[in-house]
Structure 1
C-alpha cells in the first residue's frame, strides 16, 4: 500500500513545478499546485542551470526539451569596466551529460507547466492564495482564498511550501520574521537585445568588477537576448531605479549606449537577501527553495540550491512512499539542507558578490582568479572544479533500508559511516 496518495504544493514557480513533475511522473502520486497569481511569473530572473539542477531535470524527464529550447553556454569570465579581461574558465561548452544549460525562467515555466499538466492526477489551481495551514497526524491542509473570494481547504498527505521569498507557508509556520539580512545594495535585472559579443568580444557570461559600476552581462537565449544585472543605490525607490535605467546603462556599459542602441525587453529591481528559515520541516509541512532560504543571485546559487532542495525532498518522499524511509527522514532533510545553505550557499554567494566591487575582497579575488587560470591550464582539474557544484546536492536514497541505511538518515551496522 503506497504511503503517499496526495501532495499539495504551494507555488507554481520552477521549484514547485519540478518537484510536482518528479512526484507525478515517477511515483504516480496525485499532485495539486496552488498559486496566488493567475499565470507564470514573467519578470527577469534566473536563467542558468548548473549540473546539479540538470541531474534532476534528467530525472524529471524534461532535460531534452530544456536543451532544445535553451543552449549550453561558452565560458564565464571577469573583466574591468573598460572590458579588460581578468580571468575566465570554460571557454568551450561542456559536453558532459549534466552540462550546464541556459533558458530564462519565463520560458522554462511554461515548459514545466506543459509537462506537469500532461501527467495524470495533476492540477494547478491559479488564483488560490494561501492564508493559513493546518495539520494533524495524517494530513496537512492549505487554507486558501480564491480571487473570487471563496474560502477553501485543500488537504494532502504532505504540504510543500515552494511559494518564494514572501512564502505564505513559511509565514504561517514561523510568522513574518525571516532570519538573516537585507544587503545594502539593490540590483536591477534587465533583459535586453544588445550584442555584447559582436561589439565588445564578451563571452557568454561576464562579471564586471568596479567599486560602483559593477554588473553582470550574460547571453540567455539562442536569438541573442542578454541579461544585464547591475547595482544601484540602496536609497532609491523602485520607481527611481526604473527611471534611472537609461542613465545607468550609459554610465556602466561599454560604448556608453543610449536607448536607440539597444532594445530593452523587461526590467525588475530587487533587494538582495541572505536569509534562512528556522526549520525546513514542521510535521507534514516542508519548505523548499526561496521559501526556505535566500541568497544574492551572483553565481546562480539561489536557484541551484532551490533545485537541490527539490532533489533531496523528492528522494525523501520517494523513500517514504515505498517504505524505504521513515517520515522522520524529513528532519534529516531539514538539517542537511540548512547545513548546505549555511556552509556553502551563503558564504559562496557572498564571495561571488563581494568579488565584483569590494576592495576588502581583492586578495581573495586574486586567489580565485589564479584558480581560474589553473582550470584553463589543466582541463582535467578544471572539469572537476566545474562539477564541484554537485556538492550542493545530497543523496537521500543512500539511507534507504535496502541500501544499508536505517531509514532516518543514518546507517545500520556495516553501512556507511
Structure 2
C-alpha cells in the first residue's frame, strides 16, 4: 500500500525544496524606495544556530545586532548537524563555509537503506554530485563555536548570556523585551526583534499563547551520539534502517568517528527506562551486534517529534524564524535547513529595509513565503521521509515510490540531477 496523509512526491519534485525563494529578492527589487529606514539595531532572542547565523549576516552588513541568550553559554553538545546545499549557501554568505569544511567534512560516499539485520536494500551513489552541493557535516556545537568566534570579532555584535526574556511590548517605532538578567530586570529595545528561541519560544508564546498548530507523531525518538567503528562494516557515512519497530538513522557526525544514531522507541516510558533499553537497541540495530564494552556512548536524548507551524512569522515588529516558527521531524535535515534558509531570507528583507531598497511590507512577504515553503515542501517531504522508514522493508521494495526508483540510485548522473543530497536522504 502507499502511505497516505502526505503527497507522494517524486524524487524530482522533492528537489524543488532546495529552490531559494526568489519572490523575496524580486519584491525587494520592486519595492518603493520612497521610505528609507536605516536600522539602528536588531535584537535576536536565542543564540542557537539560526540566531547566530542571522546575527553574523546582519553584523557583516553593518547592522547593529544583540543576541539575548537565556543560558550561560552557547550549547556545545555534539548534536547532529548536516547541511544540504541551501544551508551551505547561507553558511557561505555568512563567511563560515571554509572553516565549516576544515572542522567538519563533506559527504563523499552516498547513503544506504537497510533491513534491521544489515541487509542492503538500496544504495545511492553521489560521486557525480558537485562538491559544493553535497551534504556538509559539522556538529551544531562546533558550528556555534565557529559563529561565536566570528561574532566576537565584530564591534557591532554582542551576545548577552543569562538574559531570559519574560515579556514583550511594541509600538509603531520600536519593539521591546523585558529581560531577567544577573543585574535584575532590564528592558531592551530595537527596530525589530527576532524570535530564534526554539520550539518552546517565549516570543511565539507571547504573540500567540500556547497555539502552535500541527501534530505530534506517535513515534518516540531516542537520539544518541556514539563512538563505534561502523565504517569497517561497509555502512558508509550514512544509512537508514527500514523497519516499523527498529527504524533508525546512522550517520557520521565528525571525522574522528563520532556517529549519530537516532532510533525509534516505545512511547510513554521514562527517561531512565529509555536509557536502560539502549544497550539492547544498539545490539539489534548496529552492525556487529555490539555490547556496551564495544562502543563509547557520549549522549542520549529521548524526545517527541512534531510537525507544527505558527500562524504567522510576523506580528508588527516581532518576527519568528527556525524552530520558534516551525517544527518537523529530523529525518532528512529539513528542520535545520529550513531554519537557516529562514534567517537568510529574513536577512535579505532586513538589509533591504536598511538600505532603502524595500519598505516594511517586505516582512509580510517573508512570513508568507516561508510559511508557504513549510506547508508545500518541509512538512510533506519530512513526513514522507519518516514514513519511508516505518514500513515492512519487503513491502517497501515493492510498493514505495522511492524504492521503486532504486535502480537509478547507482547512476551518478541521475543522482547529480537531483541537485541536493538532502532530498535523496528521504
Q: How far apart, in 1, do the equivalents of 2:55 and 2:397 lie?
A: 44
CA-based RMSD of the aligned residues comes to: 1.9
Q: 1:386 Cα shift?
A: 3.0
Q: Deviations over 1:244-301 (max 9, x none)?
A: 2112212322222111010111111111111100100001110000000000000111
Q: Secondary structure at the match of 1:296?
A: coil
Q: 1:30 aligns with which of 64, 69, 73?
A: 64
Q: Does 1:157 align with 2:191?
A: yes
Matched, 1:344 2:365: no
Tell me which of the two structures has the higher relative contact order, counting C-alpha pairs closer than 8 angstroms and 6 or more residues apart: 2
- Cα gap change, 1:160 to 1:153, in 2 (>3 Å): same
Name the structure 1 match of 2:420: 387
Task: Give, in angstroms, the shift of residue 76 of structure 1.
Answer: 1.4
**Residue deviations 1:161-218 (CA, integer Å, cap 9, x gap):** 00000000000100022111111111111111111111x2102110011121111111
| Aligned mate of 2:155, from 94, 115, 120 | 120
Q: Which runs of 5+ in 1 are unaligned?
A: 391-417
CA distance in 1, matches of 2:421, 2:223: 27
- 1:279 is matched with which residue: 288, 295, 312? 312
Q: Distance in 1 between matches of 2:421 and 2:258?
A: 28
Residue 143 in structure 1 maps to residue 182 in structure 2: no
**Match 1:85 to one of 120, 124, 127:** 120
SS for the counterpart of 1:108 is helix
Q: Distance in 2 between matches of 1:51 and 1:365?
A: 30
How has the CA–CA distance of structure 1 residues 82 and 202 changed in structure 2, closer, same or farther, with 3 Å as cutoff? same
State the shift of 1:93 in Å: 7.7
1:312 maps to which residue?
345
Alignment of 1:101-250 (within 5 A): 101-146=136-181, 148=182, 150-198=184-232, 200-250=233-283
| 5+ residue gaps, structure 2 | 1-35
Aligned to 1:97, the other structure's residue is in SS state helix
For 1:388 and 1:100, locate their aligned partners in 2 and report how far apart those are by CA, in whole Å: 6
- Three-state SS of the structure 2 residue aligned to 1:173 is helix
* Mean CA deviation greater in 161-170 or 86-95: 86-95
Q: Give the structure-2-normalised TM-score.
A: 0.86
Following superposition, the deviation at residue 380 of structure 1 comes to 3.3
* Mapping 1:323-402, distance limit 5 Å: 323-359=356-392, 362=396, 366-377=400-411, 379-387=412-420
TM-score computed with the length of structure 1 as normaliser: 0.88
Change (3 A) 1:90 1:320: farther
Against the structure 1 CA distance between its residues 250 and 387, is the aligned structure 2 distance closer, same or farther, given a 3 Å change threshold?
Answer: closer
CA distance in 1, matches of 2:112, 2:299: 25
Task: Give the CA deviation at 1:366.
Answer: 3.2
Where does residue 17 of structure 2 map in the other structure?
none
Residue 55 of structure 1 deviates from its aligned partner by 0.5
Q: Which residue of 2 aligns with 1:40?
A: 74
Question: Contact 1:194 / 1:226 at 8 angstroms: preserved in 2?
Answer: yes
